[in-house]
Amino acid sequence: MKVQTIIILVLAVLVIALAAKILLCGKDSKTCCAKQDAISNIMTRTSIRAYTDEALTKEQIDTLLRAGMAAPSAMNKQPWEFVVIDDKETLKSLKNLYKGARMADQAAVGIAVCGNMQNAIEGEGQGYWVDDASAATENILLAAHAMGLGAVWTGVHVSEDRVSGVKELLSLPEYVIPLCVIMVGHPAESPEVKDKYNTEKIHFNKW
Ligand SMILES: Cc1cc2nc3c(=O)[nH]c(=O)nc-3n(C[C@H](O)[C@H](O)[C@H](O)COP(=O)(O)O)c2cc1C
């Protein structure tokens, strides 16, 4: 085949690819693909409870914490605190504290997402710390997934025993309440994503 023919073929493929991208995404293809990536990240996240021995880098942990702190919070109070647990003995103790944390000793890190009552809204709005810390938690789960890591939310705050156990283990001050511990690591399983979309849960204007 002549060099000229090859060049024409390559150019033709490039033009077709570009046209397809513009047709699928419109003019603003960069924004569109970023949106598609973000939506696909949300739709494909799933809880991961088995991890390899590989550690997380400082940069990865930093990105997860930045994602957590990018969450919205009521009156922008940001009443959250994060305790990063990478000590294997502490992770083992966590595993023995509550059944939900059975994967803790395998995780590269646990991130305890807590609410600081000294920074929470005073009065009736104080309970918003749970919403704020939950938003931070979901951001971390999504960031972990986007980074190719595996993570799972393990709930703490609804059980007095779990709260006191985690508080003691992590030496939390009295005014700091653990919402959950997120276990994170390099995934050693790839469970199927659950399809939870259910039109019966959707109501327009009135129930
Ligand atoms: C508030 C809350 C508490 C949870 N606690 C635990 C837990 O203690 N241990 C656990 O393995 N998973 C826990 N999960 C993860 C759920 O089991 C999981 O999100 C659910 O089964 C849906 O699966 P998916 O995350 O793969 O979509 C918790 C999730 C939430 C939101």
The CATH number that applies at residue 85 is: 3.40.109.10
Strand ranges, E, within the chain: 80-85, 109-116, 150-155, 176-185
Residue 91: partners with Cβ closer than 8 Å, 6 or more residues away: 85, 104, 105, 107, 110
Tell me, using a 6 A CB cutoff, whether residue 58 lines ligand 1.
no
* 197, part of any domain: no
| Cα–Cα dist 43/194, whole Å | 9
> Do 35 and 66 sit in the same domain of this protein?
no
> Do 132 and 30 sit in the same domain of this protein?
no
**What residue numbers bound the domain in which 110 lies?**
58-185
* 206, part of any domain: no
> Do 85 and 141 sit in the same domain of this protein?
yes
- Count: domains in the chain: 2
* 178, part of any domain: yes
| Cα–Cα dist 30/27, whole Å | 9
| Cα–Cα dist 139/175, whole Å | 24
| Nearest atom, ligand 1, residue 49 CA | 11
Tell me, using a 6 A CB cutoff, whether residue 155 lines ligand 1.
yes
> Do 127 and 172 sit in the same domain of this protein?
yes
Contact predicate 165/83, CB 8 Å: no
Q: Ligand 1: which residue has its CA nearest to atom 11?
A: 100
- Is 184's pLDDT higher than 90? yes
Tell me, using a 6 A CB cutoff, whether residue 194 lines ligand 1.
yes
- Is 27's pLDDT higher than 60? no
pTM: 0.89
pLDDT of residue 12: 79
pLDDT bracket for residue 14 (50, 70, 90): confident
* 7, part of any domain: yes
Across residues 91-108, what is the average pLDDT? 98
> Do 133 and 170 sit in the same domain of this protein?
yes
> Do 9 and 101 sit in the same domain of this protein?
no
> Do 114 and 26 sit in the same domain of this protein?
no
For residue 128, what are the CA distances in angstroms to 43, 115, 119, 178? 26, 10, 11, 14
> Do 70 and 166 sit in the same domain of this protein?
yes
pLDDT bracket for residue 10 (50, 70, 90): confident
List, for residues 117-139, the tens digit of each pLDDT value. Answer: 999 999 999 999 999 999 999 99
* 116, part of any domain: yes
The pair phi, psi for residue 98, each rounded to 5°, is -150, 150
pLDDT bracket for residue 5 (50, 70, 90): confident
* 51, part of any domain: no
* 39, part of any domain: yes
**Percentage of the chain lying above the pLDDT 70 cut:** 93
pLDDT of residue 26: 55
| Cα–Cα dist 19/164, whole Å | 59
* 199, part of any domain: no
> Do 26 and 96 sit in the same domain of this protein?
no
> What is the 3-state secondary structure of 71-125?
CCCHHHCCCEEEEEECCHHHHHHHHHHCHHHCCHHHCCEEEEEEEECCCCCCHHH
Tell me, using a 6 A CB cutoff, whether residue 153 lines ligand 1.
yes
Cα 73 to ligand 1 centroid, rounded to whole Å = 22
> Do 27 and 119 sit in the same domain of this protein?
no
> Do 71 and 38 sit in the same domain of this protein?
no
pLDDT bracket for residue 25 (50, 70, 90): low
> Do 30 and 116 sit in the same domain of this protein?
no
pLDDT of residue 41: 97
- Candidate from 28-42, 49-63, 153-167, 184-198 with smallest mean pLDDT: 28-42
pLDDT bracket for residue 172 (50, 70, 90): very high
- Is 157's pLDDT higher than 60? yes
